[in-house]
Amino acid sequence: MGLLNNLFLKKKEAEKADPVVKEDVTIFSPLKGEVLPLSEVKDEAFACGALGNGIAVEPVDGKVVSPVNGTVVSIFPTNHALGITSEDGAEILIHIGLDTVKLGGKYFTAYVEQGQSVKKGDTLITFELDRLREEGYVTQVPVLIINTPAYSCIEPLTEGSVDYGDVLLKLKY
């Protein structure tokens, strides 16, 4: 929870800072599955946008790929969530499932580490989707823009099914 709190504090700091965004940013899908509005996520902190605006995906398999070219800025020790800063300055949190931190990393494998550069489509994390469901975890994956205040609009561009690399969000300055 400490890293999640740090991301929340970073979001609060971003609200105070002047936005320095030069052009619209495209965020591609890090998952294959069904797109859900953030408001339908079964966790109030995500659903109300307290950690940032974005979208969620109900995955159909257990792989997360990079939605942008950028740098991994944080990876939770349990490998259930990570933060990436895109080359354009978008700060993205990908959180696999709800309350999955309780698993202590069981069923999650990270392929990246903090500080590592990534390209769009690089595998970041794999997870055992069936095992998460068998143990009763909600498997929705929020994809949040932590520095939401830097943008005038965060527009979901996909509904229904989404595949790796499909356009997911457009961030407008």
- Phi-psi label, residue 115: left if phi above 0, alpha if psi -120 to 50, beta otherwise: left
State yes or no: is 80 an active-site residue. Answer: no
C-alpha to C-alpha distance for 19 and 36, rounded to whole angstroms? 28
Annotated catalytic residue: which of 94, 95, 162, 168? 95
C-alpha to C-alpha distance for 111 and 46, rounded to whole angstroms? 25
| Secondary structure, 3-state, 3-63 | HHHHHHHHHHHHHHCCCCCCCCEEEECCCCEEEEEHHHCCCHHHHCCCCCEEEEEEECCCE
The pair phi, psi for residue 42, each rounded to 5°, is -85, 40
DSSP 130: H
Return the structure tokens found at 125.
């994390």
Residues annotated as part of the active site: 95
